[in-house]
Amino acid sequence: MGMAAVGGFLLATFGVLCGFLVRQLVGRLRSLFGGLVADGVCVRRYSSEGSEGNTYWHHVYGFTTADGRYVEFEEDALLMPQGQAVTVRYRLGKNPARTATVMGRGGAWSPLFGQLFGIFVSGCFAAFGVLSLWLGVEELSR
């Protein structure tokens, strides 16, 4: 497989992943800076085991929207105990659970750092794909 094909594959795969993560982060930031604020609580904290024996912690948060609906959503935050009171930011709409976040003051900053890390890693692979594609095209044009 040529360098251009590898570059195209890397660019397509990691470019889509990076785009998805950026879109998700923008939605969270829109909720953080322009959303409604509600008092919430970490309802559940549970673990799951990965295929390699690693333990992954999951956190479920609950809050009541301005129109009186009780909503639960899942978002990872480091060191968040069950029962911990948090500030939830969300945008009112059909499904506030999709826009809800505990990022920010009164919640946790770890979801932001995890998202930025994912964007950085996938962006690096996408950039490597662009470089490989460019070098492969240069090689073919000779």
Cα–Cα dist 139/43, whole Å: 57
pLDDT tens digit sequence for 58-90: 899 999 999 999 999 998 877 788 999 999 999
pTM: 0.74
Q: How confident is the model at residue 105 (pLDDT cuts 50, 70, 90)?
A: confident
Write b or e for each residue in 95-117: b if 16 or more Cβ atoms lie within 10 A of its Cβ, otherwise e: ebbebbbbbbeebbebbbeebee
pLDDT tens digit sequence for 12-25: 999 999 999 999 89
Q: Spell out the domain ranges in the chain.
A: 3-141
